[in-house]
Amino acid sequence: MTDDLLADAGEYVAGLMSAEEAEAFERRLAVDADARRAVGDWRARLLALDETATQITPSDGLWPRIEAAIGTAPAGAPAAPGLLARIWNDVTTLRWASLAAAAAAALFAVLLVTQPFGGGAKPVVVAVLTAPDTREAGAIVEAFADGRVRVVPLRAIPVPEGRTLQVWTLWDRQVGPRSVGLMPAARQQDYATSGMPRPADQQLYEITLEPAGGSPTGRPTGPILYVGRGSSPL
């Protein structure tokens, strides 16, 4: 299975191909078992991310208002005045859009920065970490059966002088949170952990801002920047 095939399969699953490219790739799927396996791998990997998003239904009046505005606007003319203002004031719509943006960020992060499927072990848990207040996706965590943990930031995370980012996990409240490791700057990092059980579905991961050198108490002391629960890929 070549890197080009893996990239094509990822673009196909993510819906990034043009109609013509998708049609050509589907013809290949009909005769190429490797292509079908690559698509199946991508779908299994991304399913865990889909299941972390909370289902939110837009308000009943949203779509009729949009359809009415589009239907009454002359071809080529801007949308009816006030449409954007009404959408902006619809809190449910904003929450829905925020979740959609978070899911898109997570999807593109997987497509762009994770290792190809043929190049290493498959993680047993994948988590999308989001900001507690805005729910914006900030990082992806991949946890492996051998204790390795990979953290992939999705955005710049400012780290003031004299501070550091610290990654934590929690699998049992009686045990309490355990440090995965420090992250002096927001960049992809791999950690080798020991003394922890095999990662499990719904295991908690978070990133906090701590003093340089890490938390002095062995427990999170700074603000929680991003947090999320892991899901087990199929």
Q: Does residue 80 lie in a domain region?
A: yes
Q: Does residue 169 lie in a domain region?
A: no
pTM over 0.75: no
For the four alpha carbons of 209, 141, 150 and 8, in that order, the dihedral sign comes to negative
pLDDT tens digit sequence for 211-232: 999 999 999 999 999 999 999 8
| Same-domain pairing of 44 and 74 | no
Domain hosting 70: range is: 62-101
For residue 84, the model assigns a pLDDT of 44
Q: Does residue 210 lie in a domain region?
A: no
| Same-domain pairing of 29 and 3 | yes
Q: Does residue 114 surpass a pLDDT of 70? A: no
Look at the chain and report how many structural domains it folds into: 2
pLDDT tens digit sequence for 30-79: 888 888 888 887 776 666 555 555 556 666 776 776 666 665 544 444 44
Burial 105-144 (b: 16+ CB within 10 A, else e): bbbebbbeebeebeeeeebbbbbbbbbeeeeebbbbbbbb
The DSSP 8-state label assigned to residue 210 in this structure reads: E
Q: Does residue 22 lie in a domain region?
A: yes
Tracing tokens 């550091």 back to the chain, one arrives at 164
d(CA 213, CA 206) in angstroms, rounded, equals 17
Q: Does residue 46 lie in a domain region?
A: yes
| Same-domain pairing of 3 and 46 | yes
| Same-domain pairing of 42 and 76 | no
What is the average pLDDT across 131-137?
A: 88
What is the average pLDDT across 139-155?
A: 92
State the pLDDT confidence band at 113, using cuts at 50, 70 and 90: very low
Spell out the residues 6+ positions from residue 43 whose beta carbon is closer than 8 angstroms to its own: 13
| Same-domain pairing of 23 and 66 | no
Phi-psi region of 28 (alpha: psi -120 to 50; beta: other; left: phi over 0): alpha
Q: Does residue 205 lie in a domain region?
A: no
Q: Does residue 13 lie in a domain region?
A: yes
Q: Does residue 215 lie in a domain region?
A: no
What is the average pLDDT across 88-111?
A: 49
